Amino acid sequence: MSDLTDKKLGEFHLLRPLGSGGMAEVYLAEQTSLQRYVAVKVMKPSLMAHSGQDMLLRFKQEAMMAAGLNHPNIVQVYTIGEEQGLHYIAQEFVQGSDLATLLRERGKLDLASILHVMRQVAGALKASGRAGIVHRDIKPENILVTKKGEVKVADFGLAQLGENTQGKDGVTMGTPLYMSPEQVGGKELDPRSDIYSFGVTCYQLLSGEPPFRGATAIQIAMQHLKTAPAPLHEKNPQLPRTLCRLVHRMMAKRRSLRYQSAEEVSEDIKTLIAAQKQGRSLDLVRLPRLEELERLAEQERQRHLRNQSSELPDNGEDGGELPFEAPAAAAGTPPEPAARATDRPRRPEPAPAP
Ligand SMILES: Nc1ncnc2c1ncn2[C@@H]1O[C@H](COP(=O)(O)OP(=O)(O)OP(=O)(O)O)[C@@H](O)[C@H]1O
Ligand SMILES: [Mg+2]
């Protein structure tokens, strides 16, 4: 797609590119009626052209659903439109960076910042889960962070638009680094699928790399189905074990053995943050829901061991929890330093004039 800088799409004057992905290019724009900055995501024409009216309908439906989500940790969708065959979605401009860029630039984030990001993403997923919306593409690129540390999740539901276009010209699908086993298996998704992808994202934030890598998309996808991620605490022994256990539980291959809702995840993250602020060791914190899920997972593991003659299930729906992550030892690590005070969320400042 050629550079659209200075073009007008409806009442949006495109000022400069902000980034691009597989499906679209994103521009900083000025909404002339309200004289405010917005981000305009222009869908690649090939995406729409190849898929015709169906895709257009879905594009509109998804945008409508996403527009219904109003939450401080979710990028607000303002409107959609079409101009000269270009379909676009105008949304809240988040001045800052996405997590993928931050990780590239800074290497690692400190524990307090990671917990702060986790709490806010869980907040976003709480809102979407309640609305019955599955994001489908939770990954560092879709988690935007303002300079004040405010986190906003972008692109709710939009990933679905790319799914039917795999392999078509002009649409390059991302690697399945963050895909849930059920997504890899082409099953129907529910909000727990976002919890898995969120878990994978947390794993990367805490260890510096995603749990599964491979030369091809298939290799990565197969690991989501079959391979237990290396224990987080082995990747980074400094990490509180309780937090490692929490992240591994989000990444359970079987949906029923994961945290069942973002509310549950959020509660446990908040408990850890509170303990950290008090200077208590996170490893001495009891998380009853986590323990209950771990007990369930252990029971399942035992059941599998007893029925070893029967074939191991091959996907994340009916099984595939084996092999398990090593049971994490609870106590013994020194307390983490107290949390750094985090800034209160603020509205993003307008960008400097281009
Ligand atoms: N609302 C926004 N405000 C500011 N920057 C944004 C906004 N939305 C997206 N961006 C920037 O534009 C980049 C490209 O976004 P886009 O959604 O097109 O691709 P992606 O999320 O990286 O991957 P893909 O959509 O292919 O899965 C993002 O990584 C982000 O840096
Ligand atoms: Mg995106």
pLDDT in tens, 231-243: 999 999 999 999 9
Angle at CA of residue 145, ends 95 and 245, nearest 5°: 175
How confident is the model over 213-219, as a mean pLDDT? 95
The string of DSSP codes covering 293-310 is HHHHHHHHHHHHHHTTTS
Q: What is the pLDDT of residue 345?
A: 33
Tell me which residue has its CA closest to atom 19 in ligand 1: 21
Ligand 1 midpoint to CA 84 (Å) = 22
Q: Which atom of ligand 1 is nearest to the CA of 172?
A: 26
How confident is the model over 98-117, as a mean pLDDT? 94
How confident is the model over 30-36, as a mean pLDDT? 97
- Residue 206, judged by CB atoms within 10 A of its CB (0-12, 13-18, 19+), counts as buried
Tell me which residue has its CA closest to atom 29 in ligand 1: 141
Site of tokens 């091809």: 216
Radius of gyration of the chain (CA): 21
CATH superfamily, region 8-92: Phosphorylase Kinase; domain 1 (3.30.200.20)
| Lowest model confidence (mean pLDDT) among 11-25, 38-52, 165-179, 239-253 | 165-179
Tell me which residue has its CA closest to atom 11 in ligand 1: 19
**Exposure on the CB side of residue 234, measured as CA atoms within 13 A:** 9
Ligand 2 midpoint to CA 155 (Å) = 5
Q: What is the pLDDT of residue 57?
A: 79
Architecture of the CATH domain 96-307? Orthogonal Bundle (1.10)
Ligand 1 midpoint to CA 154 (Å) = 7
Catalytic residue among 3, 6, 110, 137: 137
Neighbouring CB atoms inside 10 A of 53's CB total: 8
Q: Dihedral, CA atoms, 139, 99, 91, 344, nearest 10 degrees?
A: 120
Give the mutation target among 144, 171, 178 for probing the ligand 1 site: most ligand atoms within 8 A of CB: 144
Does 137 qualify as catalytic in the annotation? yes
Q: In what order do the strands lie in the sheet with 36-43?
A: 8-9, 12-20, 24-31, 36-43, 86-92, 77-83
CB distance 134 to ligand 1 below 6 Å: no
Share of residues in the chain with pLDDT > 90 (%)? 69
Tell me which residue has its CA closest to atom 28 in ligand 1: 19
Residue 48 has pLDDT above 50, yes or no: yes
Higher pLDDT: 119 or 61? It is 119
The band of 23, judged by pLDDT with boundaries at 50, 70 and 90, is confident
Q: What is the pLDDT of residue 175?
A: 72
The C-alpha atoms of residue 324 and residue 337 are separated, in whole angstroms, by: 30
Q: Do 8-92 and 96-307 show the same overall fold?
A: no
Q: What is the pLDDT of residue 107?
A: 86
Q: What is the pLDDT of residue 339?
A: 30
CB distance 21 to ligand 1 below 6 Å: yes
C-alpha 27 chain-centroid distance: 22
The C-alpha atoms of residue 64 and residue 274 are separated, in whole angstroms, by: 37
The band of 161, judged by pLDDT with boundaries at 50, 70 and 90, is low
Instruction: Render pLDDT for 271-328 as a digit per residue (tens, 0 to 9).
Output: 999 999 999 999 999 999 999 999 999 999 999 899 875 554 444 444 444 444 333 3
Q: What is the pLDDT of residue 51?
A: 64
Residue 118 has pLDDT above 90, yes or no: yes
Helix (H, G, I), strand (E, B) or coil at 87: strand
The band of 109, judged by pLDDT with boundaries at 50, 70 and 90, is very high
The C-alpha atoms of residue 58 and residue 80 are separated, in whole angstroms, by: 12
How confident is the model over 175-196, as a mean pLDDT? 94
Q: What is the pLDDT of residue 310?
A: 55
Query: What does pTM read for this prediction?
Result: 0.85
Ligand 1 midpoint to CA 261 (Å) = 26
Tell me which residue has its CA closest to atom 20 in ligand 1: 21
Question: In the chain, what are the domain boundaries?
Answer: 8-92, 96-307
The C-alpha atoms of residue 291 and residue 93 are separated, in whole angstroms, by: 40
Higher pLDDT: 336 or 50? It is 50
How confident is the model over 150-171, as a mean pLDDT? 65
Q: What is the pLDDT of residue 174?
A: 53
Q: Which atom of ligand 1 is nearest to the CA of 75?
A: 1
CB distance 20 to ligand 1 below 6 Å: yes
Tell me which residue has its CA closest to atom 13 in ligand 1: 19
Higher pLDDT: 313 or 10? It is 10
- For residue 28, the ligand closest to its alpha carbon is 1
CB distance 28 to ligand 1 below 6 Å: no
| Lowest model confidence (mean pLDDT) among 32-41, 119-128, 323-332 | 323-332
Q: What is the pLDDT of residue 52?
A: 66
Residue 162 has pLDDT above 60, yes or no: no
Both tokens of residue 254?
Answer: 């079987």
CB distance 75 to ligand 1 below 6 Å: yes
**Exposure on the CB side of residue 203, measured as CA atoms within 13 A:** 29
How confident is the model over 80-97, as a mean pLDDT? 94
Ligand 2 midpoint to CA 238 (Å) = 31
- DSSP β-ladder status, 24-31 and 12-20: antiparallel
Higher pLDDT: 334 or 24? It is 24
CB distance 174 to ligand 1 below 6 Å: yes
Please report the beta strands in 169-237, taking only residues with DSSP state E, as ranges in sequence order: none
* 98 beta partners: 144
